[in-house]
Amino acid sequence: MVIVVLKPGSTEEDVDKVVELAKKFGFDVNLSKGAEKTIVGIIGDSVYERRGAFESLNCVEEVIAVLKPFKLVSREFHPQDTIVDIDGIKIGGKHFEFFAGPCAVESMEQMENEAKFLSSLGVKILRGGAFKPRTSPYSFQGLGIRGLEILKEVANRYGMKVISEMVAAEDFDVFEKYVDIIQVGARNMQNFRLLEKLGKSGKPIFLKRGFMSTVEEWLLAAEYLFHHGNDKIILCERGIRTFEKYTRNTLDISAVPLVKILSHLPIVVDLSHSTGRRDLIPPLAKAVVAVGANGAMVEVHPDPEKALSDGQQSLNFQEFEKTYKTSMKIYKMLGVKA
């Protein structure tokens, strides 16, 4: 349903114009004439998508959406939590998982160290970028397909699953082969052709929030995936751009409970990109568990000072171990099922 508010001083003819347009689309109409304002309630399938036709009329002041623009990902459509199952690893509901590893895959040796250490702690999902969406063309761009091969080889050795970012639809076949969860990065959240391609696949998708996107735009991006047939979607809050300069982004912690009200999809928080500061990861990790997120992504590097990308927001092994253990303690203390 949408509500069409007419401008003050609108005539009977103006009202008729709105009503006729609604009827032309086959919608039902509910008219309310006040002393100062006339409003027309318009009800029907796809009425939200047609709202532009009403907004174009000169006599219309405003069109207000009553129902949410997203449907398939909404809580109303699916009241129970969606749990994305990756060969027995459950993301969603009361579950909590870490997604850890370096910003970028740099070498076999680095990844071997990472997987050995992380799996010994109990981390099941190994992250690592192979196709890096860098702001500058002169920054390290990632190892490409070789990076994915390394990631998969070490993950297999240590019984882990792999998550990596895909930046172009034409890379899908290689991602299908090597990657268990395909990440859509913040810069690509509204790359609708990419979403369409991934929506038609059966792969679990990790959909990051664009740093300039509202929660509604983010959920509509998820709606694209669902609409094209893929319901294995994990949302990831990764910070948004604000006026604050001490942090790279501002972590919108409120997005976690808000998304849980609006949607049935699991939500994870990226603790590295959300502030860009390694010293903020340990305290924020506690908040993320306590607020009810389904997991946390953390960049971890054997030697962050030498990392080829994002060392400033990566934890070393010792720091990560501490954060991991504290988070798990809180998780168990809150009485949520492991």
CB of 273 to ligand PEP, least distance (A): 4
> Candidates 27-35, 103-111, 197-205, 250-258 — which segment interacts with Mn ion by CB under 5 A?
103-111
Q: Which two tokens stand for residue 135?
A: 């702001």
Cβ atoms of 68 and 74 closer than 8 Å: yes
Cβ atoms of 34 and 23 closer than 8 Å: no
Size of the residue set binding Mn ion (CB under 5 A): 2
Nearer Cβ to ligand PEP, position 60 or 186?
186
Residue 186 within binding range of ligand PEP, rule CB under 6 A: yes
Q: Which two tokens stand for residue 98?
A: 């870490």
Nearer Cβ to ligand PEP, position 60 or 310?
310
CB of 69 to ligand PEP, least distance (A): 24
Residue 208 within binding range of ligand PEP, rule CB under 6 A: yes
Nearer Cβ to Mn ion, position 47 or 184?
184
Residue 273 within binding range of ligand PEP, rule CB under 6 A: yes
Cβ atoms of 90 and 84 closer than 8 Å: yes
Residue 165 within binding range of Mn ion, rule CB under 5 A: no
Cβ atoms within 10 A of the Cβ of 147, count?
22
Residues 93-132 that bind ligand PEP (CB under 6 A): 103, 129
User: DSSP state, 7?
Assistant: P
C-alpha to C-alpha distance for 77 and 71, rounded to whole angstroms: 6
Residue 310 within binding range of Mn ion, rule CB under 5 A: yes
237 binds, among ligand PEP, Mn ion, none (CB under 5 to 8 A by kind): none
Cβ atoms of 92 and 83 closer than 8 Å: yes
Cβ atoms of 92 and 265 closer than 8 Å: yes
C-alpha to C-alpha distance for 316 and 110, rounded to whole angstroms: 12
| List 40, 63, 84, 103, residue binding Mn ion (CB under 5 A) | 103
C-alpha to C-alpha distance for 274 and 247, rounded to whole angstroms: 8
C-alpha to C-alpha distance for 164 and 175, rounded to whole angstroms: 8
Nearer Cβ to ligand PEP, position 272 or 323?
272
Q: How far from chain centre, in Å, is Cα 44? A: 30
Residue 248 within binding range of ligand PEP, rule CB under 6 A: no
User: DSSP state, 277?
Assistant: -
Closest residue to Mn ion using C-beta atoms: 103
Residue 185 within binding range of ligand PEP, rule CB under 6 A: yes
C-alpha to C-alpha distance for 322 and 327, rounded to whole angstroms: 9
Closest residue to ligand PEP using C-beta atoms: 185
Q: Which residues of 16-50 are buried (b: 16+ CB within 10 A; e: fewer)?
A: ebbbebbeeeebebeeeeeeeebbbbbeeeebbeb
210 binds, among Mn ion, ligand PEP, none (CB under 5 to 8 A by kind): none
> Candidates 20-28, 94-102, 183-191, 221-229 — which segment interacts with ligand PEP by CB under 6 A?
183-191
Residue 240 within binding range of ligand PEP, rule CB under 6 A: no
> Candidates 61-69, 179-187, 192-200, 254-262 — which segment interacts with ligand PEP by CB under 6 A?
179-187
Contacts with ligand PEP by CB under 6 A lie at 103, 129, 133, 165, 185-187, 208, 238, 270, 273
Contacts with Mn ion by CB under 5 A lie at 103, 310
